[in-house]
């Protein structure tokens, strides 16, 4: 596996994880009726987005320029 393929795999896994988390919440597997759970879900989404942002910016910005 080349370095480029590894970068692609990491970027796609990060995106899939974020959208998987979103799908779990939207399908109702997590009850966000209570304020505490809503805060926790928001914290997870914020943390996941903060972790994904450098990967997405670095990988997909470079891909557009090639």
The answer to pTM > 0.75 is: no
* Per-residue pLDDT reduced to its tens digit, 22-63: 899 889 898 888 899 899 989 988 888 888 778 777 776 655
Integer Cα distance of 44 and 46 in angstroms: 5
Taking a C-beta distance cutoff of 8 angstroms, is the pair 45, 21 a contact? yes
3-state SS, residue 32? coil
What pLDDT score was predicted for residue 54? 81
36 vs 66, higher pLDDT: 36
What pLDDT score was predicted for residue 48? 83
What pLDDT score was predicted for residue 3? 79
């Amino acid at each position: 596996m080349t370095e480029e393929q590894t970068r692609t795999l990491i970027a796609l896994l990060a995106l899939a994880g974020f959208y998987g988390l979103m799908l779990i919440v939207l399908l109702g597997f997590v009850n966000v009726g209570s304020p505490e759970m809503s805060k926790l879900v928001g914290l997870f989404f914020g943390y996941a987005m903060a972790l994904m942002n450098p990967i997405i910016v670095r990988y997909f910005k470079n891909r557009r320029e090639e």
